[in-house]
Chain A
Amino acid sequence: MLYRTAGQFKTSYHADHALFPVRQDAWLLGVILVCAFVVIPAVASEFAINALLIPVLIYALAALGLNILTGYAGQLSLGTGAFMGVGAYACYKIITIFPDLNLVVAIALSGFFSAAVGVAFGLPSLRIKGFYLAIATLAAQFFLVWLFEKWSWLYNYNASGAIQVANVDMFGITVAGPNAAPVTQYYFVLGVVAVVTWFAINITRGRIGRVWKSVRDMDIAAELVGIDLMKAKLSAFAVSSYIVGIAGALFVFLWRGAAEPNLFDIPLSFRVLFIAIIGGLGSIMGNYLGAILIVALPVMLGTLPGAFGLTIASATVEHLNVMIIGALIIFFLIVEPHGLARLWAIIREKLIMWPFPH
């Protein structure tokens, strides 16, 4: 019906490798972007923006960073939360030292700190592989969170040990801190996420992306055809940690407003990993689908008992939530181990063929 590829002929390799070989995909993206930039901010309530939209975008960004490392370059990492923390603390220190700096610049700079830390902890990946590497990244996780707690310079010797975001102005508009309007914050996050996603799509399609994929599929074979493993793996760690660091800075500055060291502890790492895996490893779009699922689910489950007129203690609801999310993760893994992105790909195939079975 609507989704037909008939009549869209390619006459050059260039056209064949275009970002949207099917015209409808470009239309779909256009509709989504219009929704994200125009429709949603116009209709969404403050609660929806704060509890759903901003976290979805930030988690999707973090998962995107992890996906570059795990899905594209094949290096399993369990330290995402700590790298987000590095980005957040770096941004906090930059804002403290240069209070007049533009927040976009500060966030962009803070990514470099997490990239450097990521490369340092990525060095063992040259020797260690598979689950051994995954546990090795846990070393980063636990060490960095410990450091956030003990190194009081990081949180300006604050007695509470937490970092608190003050009001930050940009071109006369408050974008971060207690006085910022949720819509402004939403636009800020959306802008950053859109730019980084555009960058990620292109880098994974290009030469570096192909190098990463070959390392993921078999690193020894990649080395034999002349790929420098050190460069490939470390660049994956650098790009991935950069994006994760930015996500961490956004996480604290544009959403939470304050952060304690244990916010970046291992549950955060796992949540991001869930999003990347449920969304689909090795896919950009999957991160968004996964983030929507993981962020929206608890919110929806929280409203369900009320909708059915049941009164359940909030603690019970929380326990049920955890249980249901665990069960759903298993369910999704069984139904589609390659993630929601693959599910969408299958639906797309079917739509193109419809009404014929194959």
Chain B
Amino acid sequence: MELLNVLFIKPFADMFAAPDFLLQVLWEGLVSGVLYALIALGFVLIYKSSRIFNFAQGIMVVFAALTLVGLHEAGVPALLAVPLTLLVMFGLAVAIERVVLRPLVNQPDIILFMATIGITLFLVGFGELIFGGENKVMITEQLFIPTGSFELEPFGGFLLIEQKDLTAVIGAVVLVGLLLLFLNKSKMGRAIRALGDDHQAALSVGISLSTIWVLVWFIAGIIALATGIVWGARAGVSFALEVIAYKALPVLMLGGLESVLGAILGGLAIGILEKLFEIYWGQPLLGGNTETWFAFVFALIVLLFRPQGLFGERIIERV
């Protein structure tokens, strides 16, 4: 009885007792959810168009953020550093396509997956070599990202919303909107989707595989830069950022590996649920720090009922 009370009644009682705190928790969860969704989106784009499970997305986030800050430290004005970083990410996309992907065309999935882990290691070493391993501060003010905060008073309580978090959410929504528009309305976007449906058919109607791959990796690079700026503004820029890439994996499981919508909704769901679980169940009952595994276990449970994720393509197997 005591157990049931602690598990099912007390947490909800706590939620209702302090609704302003609950709102704060939800907001924090939403913000990290948006970021998980962004990283997952990078994964999904690459997986859709090339069936490559791109483990390097996380390090691309770090690399993009480090390049931006590094360029600024080298004296480049902030607003010029952004396009320069994009140029670097484009170069990276071309290099990855030429050096890694092209020779590995048609290999089994696991080989390509390992290759992306190889890319991850390479970029970790390369990044540390050039930019050093220490923590850096994101150039928030120079990019005109507001750093103040709003204080609201819902239910007579207290709710703190940081302006940079709000900017992050709005920026992410705009980015995702543009991306969806690009994927659904432009010629290139249609080519990406065609490639995702059927490689050979797409090739036979004249879609260039290598162009699209470079494009997709470049888009993943843009997303990485956006994520890097936003997350770097919250937590500083360092290689510890890489661990958030792991958080994108359960998001992918939950949403389905091929679904853009799934990545977004899965990211939001996981961001909010893991915060709620940590605050109301994890810290009082399990000693805290449950955020490392909650998302995985949650996604695993969902997957037992829907093996292809919530929005993934149905897996049809033929003998």
Complex-state Cα separation, A293 to B262, whole angstroms: 40
Q: Is the beta-carbon distance between A322 and B299 smaller than 8 angstroms?
A: no
Given known contacts A136-B300, A315-B133, A337-B111, A220 and B317 CB-to-CB distance under 8 angstroms: yes
> When A128-B303, A129-B315, A329-B114 are in contact, do A139 and B129 touch as well, CB less than 8 Å?
no
Proximity bits, B75-118, A CB within 8 Å = 1, else 0:
00000000000000000000000011001100111110111011
Residue of B53, B114, B257 touching A277 (CB-CB under 8 A) = B114
B182 CB–A CB distance under 8 Å: no
Contact A320 B129 (CB under 8 A): yes
Size band of the interface chain A makes with B: 35 or more
Q: In the complex, A334 Cα to B105 Cα: how many Å?
A: 10
A54 CB, nearest partner CB in chain B, Å: 24
Known: A135-B252, A146-B290. A323 touches B304 (CB 8 A): no
With contacts A270-B117, A316-B129, A327-B122 taken as known, whether A224 is within 8 angstroms of B257 at the C-beta atoms is: no
**Contact among A146, A319, A333 for B125, CB-based, below 8 A:** A319
- B121 on interface, CB distance cutoff 8 Å: yes
Residues of A within 8 A of B304 (CB): 124, 127-128
The CA of A70 and the CA of B111, in the complex, are separated in Å by 12
Q: Would you call A132 and B309 a contact (CB within 8 A)?
A: yes
Known: A124-B304, A128-B304. A329 touches B115 (CB 8 A): yes
CA distance A243 to B168 in the complex (A): 47
Inter-chain contact B125/A324, CB cutoff 8 Å: yes
- Residues in chain A near residue B252, CB distance under 8 A: 135
Contact of A129 among B113, B125, B307 (CB under 8 A): B307
Q: Which residues of B contact A325 (CB under 8 A)?
A: 121, 125
Asked if B184 is at the interface of the complex by the 8 Å CB criterion, the answer is no
A142 to B249, CA, bound (A): 12
Q: Whole-angstrom distance between the alpha carbons of A70 and B113 in the complex?
A: 14
With known contacts A132-B308, A146-B290, A224-B319, A322–B121 Cβ distance under 8 A: yes
Contacts of B292 in A (CB 8 A): 142, 145-146
A344 at the interface (CB under 8 A from B): no
Question: Do B296 and A326 have beta carbons less than 8 Å apart?
Answer: no
Query: Is the C-beta of A259 less than 8 angstroms from some C-beta in chain B?
Result: no
Is residue B246 contacting chain A, with contact meaning CB distance below 8 A?
yes
B120 CB-CB contact with A under 8 Å: yes
Q: With the chains together, A40 CA to B180 CA distance in Å?
A: 62
Q: Are B300 and A330 in contact (CB under 8 A)?
A: no
Interface of A, secondary structure class, is: helix
Chain A, residue nearest B124 (CB): A322
Q: Does B162 lie at the interface of the complex (its beta carbon under 8 Å from any beta carbon of A)?
A: no
Question: Known contacts A132-B303, A139-B296, A266-B246; is A334 also within 8 Å of B104 by CB?
Answer: yes
**Residue A274 lies at the interface, judged by CB distance under 8 Å to chain B:** yes
A218 contacts B100, C-beta separation under 8 Å:
no
Could you tell me if B253 and A330 are in contact, using CB atoms closer than 8 angstroms?
Answer: no
Is B17 at the interface (CB under 8 A from chain A)? no
- Assess whether B104 is in contact with A139, with CB atoms less than 8 Å apart: no
Q: Which of A142, A274, A322, A333 meets B111, CB within 8 Å?
A: A333
A33 within 8 A of B: no
Q: Chain B: which residue is nearest A71 at the CB level? A: B110
- Give Cα A231 to B212, complex, Å: 43
The residue among A127, A129, A328, A329 with the most chain B CB atoms within 10 A of its own CB is A329
Q: Which residues of B contact A330 (CB under 8 A)?
A: 99-100, 115, 118-119, 122
Within 8 A of B (CB), among A336-356: 337
Contacting residues, chain A, for B103 (C-beta < 8 A): 334
- Please measure, in the bound complex, the distance between the C-alpha atom of A319 and the C-alpha atom of B117, giving whole angstroms: 16
CA distance A316 to B128 in the complex (A): 8
Given known pairs A325-B121, A337-B104, the reply for A139 and B133 (CB within 8 Å) is no
Question: Are A326's CB and B307's CB within 8 A?
Answer: no
Mark B27-41 against chain A: 1 for CB-CB distance below 8 A, else 0: 000000000000000
* From B104, B125, B246, B319, contact of A321 by CB (8 A): B125
| A157 part of interface (Cβ distance < 8 Å) | no
* CA A334 to CA B300, docked complex, whole Å: 33
Is residue A131 contacting chain B, with contact meaning CB distance below 8 A?
A: yes
Contacts of B12 in A (CB 8 A): none
Q: Are B319 and A221 in contact (CB under 8 A)?
A: yes
Given the known interface contacts A135-B252, A136-B303, A138-B296, the answer about A319 and B129 at a Cβ–Cβ threshold of 8 Å is yes
- B299-319 vs A, CB cutoff 8 Å, 1 = contact: the mask equals 110011001110000010111
Is there an interface contact between B289 and A146, defined as CB atoms closer than 8 Å?
Answer: yes
Asked whether any CB of chain A lies closer than 8 Å to the CB of B287, the reply is: yes
Query: B108 — which chain A residues lie within 8 A by C-beta?
Result: 337
State A31–B124 Cα separation when bound (angstroms).
Answer: 40
Nearest-CB distance from B42 to chain A (Å)? 16
Residues of B within 8 A of A124 (CB): 300, 303-304
- Which A residues touch B250, using CB under 8 A? 135, 138-139
Please name all residues of chain A whose beta carbon is closer than 8 Å to the beta carbon of B115 when the two chains form the complex.
329-330, 333
The reply on A143 being an interface residue by CB < 8 A is yes
CB neighbours (8 Å) of A63 from chain B are: none
**Complex: how many Å from CA A322 to CA B124?**
7
New contact pairs (5) apart from A128-B303, A138-B250, A322-B128, CB-CB < 8 Å: A128-B304, A129-B315, A319-B133, A320-B129, A321-B125
